Structure 1
Amino acid sequence: MNACELLRLLRTEHDETAARADNLREQIERLTTALAETEARLAELTATRKVIDGLTPPDHEPAPTQTTTATVCQRIVTAFNEHPGKVFRLHDLHEHLGLPTDEPSINVTRSRLGRLARQGFLEQPGRGRYQKRT
């Protein structure tokens, strides 16, 4: 092997190694950008969770399971069946059923009552008032 061949092989290996280094630098740049975006999103999610945790009362239970939801709905229907002529306000119904009176729980019940009204089981004789449809 002469010097010219050795230089040619060295130059070829140098060019291949330089191309590989450029490729790795591009990958590092893409990964660095992706990491920065992911860390920013993680920071947003962490901040959001802290805000929500701060707004949630300490005794607030996690979201109910499907079984618990069905049980609460059945209790609501039973209350209206037991008192067919009574007009319930939302907070009165919560107190009657012994449900929590925090705002998230009230909103869930409001949604349930709206669904029961749309299904024809309840009627709304006034804003925020519900009674069994007769």
Structure 2
Amino acid sequence: MKKMIFGTVMFFAIQVGFAQSQDAQTFVSNMGVKAQIEGAKQQILPAIDTAKVDEFTKEFDAVASNFITDFTKLVDENYDATEIKDANKKYAETKEMTQIAPKDAAAFEQKINALQAEVGMTMQGLVMKYASEEAMQQAEE
């Protein structure tokens, strides 16, 4: 009997955790993070060697996807699940983002800054790897 009760409790705990992750994914999507990253990609593409655009795009998209996943995890860990759910509901009704604060703003900001720095360095490496000779020469000038 104890095993059955424990199993049921674990099932519901997993479901609640999964639901919060889905809510965090929706919240990040509503924030427009993916669109912002796509905008950055469009600004970078003219500097990429035309023969290497497909390779660049594949790597860029993988880095962007990982960033969104990591950012979503940070939101999931650092924001109140009820506030996220309420913000998503308001966005669905009005298309207006609700500003909510993380549980520990200073810690969250530190984690976000570290994540952004890491992704920024990776993106810079991609640009250096795939940039055209002309773009590299212009950057040096």
Using the size of structure 1 for normalisation, the TM-score is 0.33
- Greater RCO between the two (CA within 8 Å, min separation 6)? 2
Using the size of structure 2 for normalisation, the TM-score is 0.32
Of Structure 1 and Structure 2, which has the larger fraction of its residues in helix?
2
Structure label with greater radius of gyration:
1
Of Structure 1 and Structure 2, which has the larger fraction of its residues in strand?
1
